[in-house]
Amino acid sequence: MDRLEQYRKIIQDLLQDYMLGNRSDAGFETQILCDRVVARELVEMGVERSDIVLGLQPEYARIDTGYSVA
C-alpha cells in the first residue's frame, strides 16, 4: 500500500471511530472538524507531520505549526 492510500485508510479509520463514539439518535447531525488534536492523533498513527496541512489555519500561521504549509 503506497503512502497516500495508507494515510487515507488511517484518516477514514480515525473519523469512523469519532463518528461511532459520538452517535446520537436524537435527530442531530454529527459533523467533524479537524484541528491540531486530530493532527496529533494522525502523527501518533504514523502520518508524518510534513504530510499534514492544517487547513483551518491561515497560510501565514502554518509556518509556526510544525506541520506542512501547503
> Bridge partners of 68?
53
Q: Enumerate the domain spans of the chain.
A: 3-62
Q: Which three cell numbers stand for residue 7?
A: 494515510
Provide the greatest CA pair distance for the chain.
41
Place of cell 494522525: 42
Give the whole-angstrom CA distance, residue 55 versus residue 70: 8
pLDDT for position 22? 66
Sign of CA dihedral 61, 65, 69, 70: negative
pLDDT for position 48? 92
pLDDT for position 34? 57
The 10s digit of each residue's pLDDT in 11-61 is: 888 888 877 776 666 676 666 665 666 888 889 999 999 998 888 788 888
pTM: 0.56
